[in-house]
């Protein structure tokens, strides 16, 4: 297993470099360093000298990939990509373009509000979604199954924005049960977290329950399930004990897709509730065209996703002893 993990980590390096490369290409295709300088300086301070000075201070006076003016190693090293993007591989996030904030320190500070929302949302959502999907699968072919699928399709069709705005209006402004913006530290933060967690769970039910139901229906038609029924086990025990255990592999595969959100935060929820997490940090950076923060958050998301895939492969061996990582 150790050799497999080492190979996966080595395979991840060119993937992460490729993510940085594509991010740099897309960003500089939309905004050149001159465009960035104009936006950061504003109309009142915009002069050719000020633009050149800003680009020089922030390292954007260099070519993007190849420096034809430099000889030897400088052809590659004296470029924006090498000096700005490659240090992300060893988690050197550098400074923001707008106000010279230390991005690494800002990530450390903002990850806790994001985790405070994401972890309970993740745990509750997985539990609720698996339980509901098993109930629907248990009553397959009945009105419960039909209405359950219909409700899931409706919930999938509703935008997350509807859940956010509707919940803020109903629970926040009408019933005044929860605050609709802000954040606090310690136990005082609980009142600010309840509504975002509820919204996160609700918005995940439709798609996840449909997927898990399909997984369980596929499992209950397999030979080992028919054998368990032939031994006289009840349908509930067959489904909730044998079916659930053998359906864990596709469930784990689906869960890994949301693992980066545990750290990165929810962009929409944090932005609408004014929660100072990584999601709102990313939205603010996009709005202000702060490329340093954007590339850092894109890279961080890619890194977490790759690590999630490796952890998922390892978890396969725990739920199914037949799987060996070689």
Question: What's the average model confidence in pLDDT over 246-268?
Answer: 71
Nearest one of 83, 68, 89, 75 to 10, comparing CA atoms:
89
**Does one domain contain both 74 and 119?**
no
Q: What is the pTM of this model?
A: 0.79
Cα 200 to Cα 50, 124, 128, 311: the distances in Å are 45, 10, 12, 24
Q: How many CB atoms lie within 10 A of CB 73?
A: 8
- How far apart are the C-alpha atoms of 305 and 283, rounded to whole Å? 20
Question: Where is the domain boundary, 50, 68, 90?
Answer: 90
CATH of the domain at 298: 1.10.3720.10
**Does one domain contain both 66 and 145?**
no
Q: How many CB atoms lie within 10 A of CB 221?
A: 8
**Does one domain contain both 227 and 285?**
yes
**Does one domain contain both 63 and 206?**
no
pLDDT tens, position by position, 70-105: 555 556 567 777 777 778 888 888 888 777 788 888
pLDDT tens, position by position, 108-149: 888 888 888 888 888 898 889 888 888 888 888 888 888 988
Six token digits for residue 214: 């399909």
Q: Lowest mean pLDDT of 31-35, 104-108, 205-209, 266-270, name the range.
A: 31-35
**Does one domain contain both 117 and 56?**
no
pLDDT tens, position by position, 186-236: 777 788 888 888 888 888 888 888 888 888 887 777 777 777 777 777 766
**Residue 80 domain boundaries:** 2-90
Cα 230 to Cα 122, 227, 238: the distances in Å are 37, 5, 11
Asked if the model's pLDDT at residue 68 lies above 70, the reply is no
Asked if the model's pLDDT at residue 321 lies above 80, the reply is no
**Does one domain contain both 175 and 288?**
yes
Between helix 48-58 and helix 33-41 the angle, nearest 10°, is: 110
Across the chain, what does the average pLDDT equal? 79
Q: How many residues belong to the chain? A: 326
Residue-level pLDDT at 158? 84
Phi, psi of 300 (to 5 degrees): -60, -40
Reported as a pLDDT band with limits 50, 70 and 90, residue 43 is low
Residue-level pLDDT at 53? 79
pLDDT tens, position by position, 144-167: 888 988 998 998 888 888 888 888
**Does one domain contain both 117 and 236?**
yes
**Does one domain contain both 170 and 75?**
no
- How far apart are the C-alpha atoms of 275 and 199, rounded to whole Å? 14
Q: Percent of the chain beyond pLDDT 90?
A: 1
Structural domains in the chain (count): 2
Residue-level pLDDT at 72? 53
Task: Kindly state whether residue 126 falls inside one of the protein's structural domains.
Answer: yes
């Amino acid at each position: 297993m150790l050799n497999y993990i080492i190979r996966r980590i080595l395979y991840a390096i060119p993937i992460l470099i490729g993510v940085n490369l594509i991010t740099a290409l897309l960003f500089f295709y939309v905004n050149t360093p001159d465009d960035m300088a104009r936006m950061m300086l504003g109309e009142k301070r915009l002069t050719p000298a000020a633009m050149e000075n800003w680009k020089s201070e922030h390292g954007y006076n260099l070519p993007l990939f190849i420096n034809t003016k430099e000889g030897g190693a400088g052809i590659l090293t004296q470029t924006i990509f090498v000096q700005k993007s490659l240090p992300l591989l060893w988690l050197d996030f550098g400074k923001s373009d707008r106000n010279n904030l230390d991005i690494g320190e800002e990530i450390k500070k903002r990850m806790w509000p994001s985790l405070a929302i994401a972890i309970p949302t993740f745990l509750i959502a997985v539990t609720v979604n698996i339980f509901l999907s098993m109930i629907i699968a248990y009553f397959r072919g009945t009105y419960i199954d039909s209405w359950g699928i219909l409700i899931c399709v409706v919930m999938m069709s509703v935008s997350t924005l509807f859940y956010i705005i509707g919940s803020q209006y109903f629970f926040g402004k009408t019933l005044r049960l929860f605050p609709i913006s802000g954040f606090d530290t310690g136990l005082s933060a609980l009142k600010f977290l309840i509504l975002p967690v509820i919204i996160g769970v609700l918005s995940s039910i439709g798609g996840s329950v449909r997927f898990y139901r399909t997984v369980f229906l596929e499992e209950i038609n397999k030979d080992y399930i028919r054998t368990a029924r032939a031994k006289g086990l009840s349908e509930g025990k067959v489904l909730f004990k044998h079916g659930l255990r053998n359906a864990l592999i596709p469930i784990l595969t689906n869960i890994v897709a949301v693992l980066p959100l545990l750290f990165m935060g929810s962009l929409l929820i944090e932005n609408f509730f004014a929660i100072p997490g990584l999601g709102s940090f990313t939205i603010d950076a996009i709005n202000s065209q702060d490329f340093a923060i954007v590339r850092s958050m894109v890279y961080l998301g890619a890194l977490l996703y790759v690590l999630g895939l490796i952890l998922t492969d390892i978890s396969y061996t725990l739920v199914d002893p037949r799987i060996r990582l070689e």
